[in-house]
Every structure is written in C-alpha cells, then in structure tokens.
Amino acid sequence: MDAIGGRLLGLGLDVVDIPRLAGALIRRPGLRGRLFTEPERAYAESMASPAATYAGRFAAKEALMKALGVGLGAVDWSDVEVLRHEGGRPLLVVRGRAAALAASVGVGAWQVSISHTDKVASAVVAALS
C-alpha cells in the first residue's frame, strides 16, 4: 500500500531530450496533432517554453505505457491525456485502448510526476489498484 491507498501494479519512467522533440515537431508538422490532444496543445502553446511542456507530456505518455508493461503501438497517443488538477499538478486522463488495458490488469488510479530542465524532460507514472 502507498500513501494514497492503492497497491502498486506498475511503474514507468521516461526521459525526453527537449531539443530533439522540438526538432521533430518542426520537421513533421502533423506530429503535434498525432501525439497531443487539443487541450494539451493549447496548454503547451500558452507556456513560455512549449517544447519543454510537450516533452514532459510525451514522457508521461511513454511512462504510462511502461507502467502498463506495453510498448509503442499498444495504445493510441490520444488515449492518454495529460491535464492539470486545480492546484496545478498533472492529471492523467486514460481512455480507449489504454483504459481497457489498464482495467484488464486492475488499474484503478494513476499518479504522475513531470519535471524538466532546459534540455531534458522526465516523467514517472505509477499504476495503482
């Protein structure tokens, strides 16, 4: 058990090179729409450093896949949305194939933490019963 009451079912960590992701988003204009939902894009574009915000959300999505024990392609990028609680901390909204997969292994709650410097973004996701 942890402090919030669920049993840890999976843990994922991902690190993203911010300049590399920023370059990919510039080179491939449609990539932003494929990887991020409209609310994620609106939030990132409102920030002083959109690339760092995108990278943090990308890291969280990949960390969630790792917490579920699956790789790229097992879920759609739009199945995982990173929003914010009222206090500002990140919130994972999981739907579609990701939600079905999570339910099949007993995931009932998520915890996520995102951090970044000017070069690297990282995220850790805990899948809880």
Domain boundaries, the chain: 8-128
pLDDT for position 1: 34
Token pair belonging to 39: 């609310």
* Cβ pair 40, 90 in contact under 8 A: no
| pLDDT less than 50: residues of the chain | 1-3
CATH class of 8-128: alpha beta
Question: Residue 109, class by beta-carbon neighbours within 10 Å (0-12 exposed, 13-18 middle, 19+ buried)?
Answer: middle
Degrees, nearest 5: CA angle 5-9-15 = 105
pLDDT for position 72: 87
pLDDT for position 5: 64
The pTM score is 0.94
Residue 111 DSSP class: E
